[in-house]
Chain A
Amino acid sequence: GAGVSQSPSNKVTEKGKDVELRCDPISGHTALYWYRQSLGQGLEFLIYFQGNSAPDKSGLPSDRFSAERTGGSVSTLTIQRTQQEDSAVYLCASSLGNSADTQYFGPGTRLTVL
């Protein structure tokens, strides 16, 4: 079946603009994660959705970052008033929802803020 998909694959924007990144998880996966990966860095956790529960937003770096997940499926990560330090690859992953479960990652969105 289809894996996790993300769009766009690349996004170039100007400083101060807002961007929206989209993630389509694997059907039936109740857990969805957003991570950020900068060059040479590890995966930085941003936000976690599990079913209909309130999301864990503890990893969001500032209030310019927000995310929502509609209908327990598609998720959108929004970055307002982008800054150059927001440039990174944003990865989405989904899983069945248990802590031992494999995470299935999308290909990522490479964001470049000029």
Chain B
Amino acid sequence: SQKIEQNSEALNIQEGKTATLTCNYTNYSPAYLQWYRQDPGRGPVFLLLIRENEKEKRKERLKVTFDTTLKQSLFHITASQPADSATYLCAQSGGSYIPTFGRGTSLIVHP
């Protein structure tokens, strides 16, 4: 079955640097990959969706890439700020109406 893998170790970076988070899938290429942000005690909030035939998608300081050869999506936050500190979840969808979520990676941006 399809698995979505994200680095379980927290990513610590300095304010102003670019944060890069990784999402790997194990089997078939999903039609869509979505990225969500989750703050403690809250539900996930949608950030970006990228389609299988898209290489890159941008929104303000956010950029997502989709590499079907590497079976990987990268999520970048440029000019990171302490307010960007949160857990970021990757999810695949398209094969069915039920998305599969990764466990998420915690990002900590230090001032």
Contact = CB atoms under 8 A, between A and B. Distances in A.
Contacts of A58: 98
Nearest to B101: A43
A93 B42 CA distance: 12
B49 interface: yes
A25 interface: no
B73 to A, nearest CB: 15
A74 B18 CA distance: 41
A72 to B, nearest CB: 16
Contacts of B104: 42
A48 interface: yes
Interface residues of A, number: 26
Given A99-B93, A100-B94, A102-B34, A107 B101 contact: no
A65 interface: no
A4 interface: yes
Given A50-B97, A99-B94, A42 B103 contact: yes
Contact of A100 (B4, B42, B49, B98): B49
A35 B44 CA distance: 11
B93 A100 contact: yes
B52 to A, nearest CB: 11
B97 A103 contact: no
Nearest to B106: A40
Contacts of B99: 45, 99, 103
Nearest to B6: A42
Contacts of B95: 99
A102 B49 contact: yes
A56 B98 contact: yes
Shortest 9 CB-CB distances between A and B: which pairs?
A: A105-B43, A42-B103, A43-B101, A102-B46, A42-B101, A105-B44, A100-B32, A99-B94, A99-B93
Interface of A: 4, 31, 33, 35, 40-43, 45, 48, 50, 56, 58-59, 91, 93, 97, 99-100, 102-108
